[in-house]
Amino acid sequence: MSAVGLTFVGAVLFVNGLLFLGKIDPKSAGVFNLFVGSLQTAIPFWLITHATSQDDILGAAGIFLFGFTYLYVGIGNLKGYAADGLGWYSAWVALMAAGFGIVNIVRFHDTATGLLWLQWSVLWGLFWVVLALGVERLTPAAGWLTLIQSFTTCTIPGFVILLGKWADVPLWTIWASIAASTAVVVPIALRAPAPPAVSARPEAAAAAA
């Protein structure tokens, strides 16, 4: 993934995490999602049209998962659409992200990047549970995991890649960030109160990765 694009994915995940937690106006967040969604659609299109091998195309194709997610969130928030469609799309993306994670580890021998993809797969899976299945009590956990991953899987790795130092990052630091994220998010998910007997369905204000 483009280092610049990955860095801005961190920015939009930060915004969307706050949106999940009810700290940002949905329409305001929607505008920024359109900005990043457009960027993450243009970048892979350029990379694929200039690709010289099948592996180049494979490496760029996954970026569309991010771009279309943010376009979906942006349009949905601005138009006030229900979020169930976004949730089911997130289920498909979670499966694809897991596939890209395995490919990076097995085919490209890039375990560090593969672990990033696997973390995004978990995040999109959580969006599916909250937005499509309606498990609203996990919304705080989704918000906090989005906030954490905005830094641990996007902003910091993107900046390190810009510095040309990604290959020097010890693998244990990524495992440590996964363990720390789990230690923070799981207790939030477990202590989240059950939803009331009558609860309104969330609109597309809920955000995705």
Give residue-wise pLDDT tens across range 125-136: 999 999 999 999
- Domain annotation covers residue 202: no
In angstroms, the Cα distances linking 169 to 102, 111, 163 are 19, 11, 12
pLDDT at 12 over 90: yes
Burial of 53 per CB tally in 10 Å (0-12, 13-18, 19+): exposed
Chain-centroid distance, C-alpha 58: 19
Write out the two tokens for 77: 């928030």
Q: Tally the domains of the chain.
A: 1
Contacts of 76 by beta carbon, 8 Å cutoff, 6+ apart: 30, 83, 85, 86, 203, 204
- Domain annotation covers residue 201: no
Write out the two tokens for 128: 């599916």
- Domain annotation covers residue 207: no
- Domain annotation covers residue 98: yes
Contacts of 9 by beta carbon, 8 Å cutoff, 6+ apart: 36, 40, 66, 150, 154, 158, 209
- Domain annotation covers residue 142: yes
pLDDT at 177 over 50: yes
pLDDT at 26 over 60: yes
Distance of alpha carbon 132 from alpha carbon 106, whole angstroms: 31
pLDDT at 194: 57
Give the domain extent around 92: 3-191
CATH label of the domain that carries residue 171: 1.25.40.600
Distance of alpha carbon 81 from alpha carbon 97, whole angstroms: 25
Q: How confident is the model at residue 2 (pLDDT cuts 50, 70, 90)?
A: confident
- Domain annotation covers residue 209: no
Q: How confident is the model at residue 100 (pLDDT cuts 50, 70, 90)?
A: very high
pTM over 0.75: yes
Q: Comparing 54-58, 98-102, 181-185, which segment has the lowest mean pLDDT?
A: 54-58
pLDDT single digits (tens) 30-56: 999 999 999 999 999 999 999 999 999
Q: Specify which residues 203 forms β-bridges with.
A: 82
8 A C-beta contact, residue 16 and residue 208: yes
Write out the two tokens for 86: 């976004």
- Domain annotation covers residue 40: yes
pLDDT at 198 over 90: no
**Mean pLDDT along residues 105-125:** 97
pLDDT at 201: 38
**Mean pLDDT along residues 131-149:** 97
- Domain annotation covers residue 120: yes
Q: How confident is the model at residue 197 (pLDDT cuts 50, 70, 90)?
A: very low
* Element of type H or E holding 88: helix 84-106
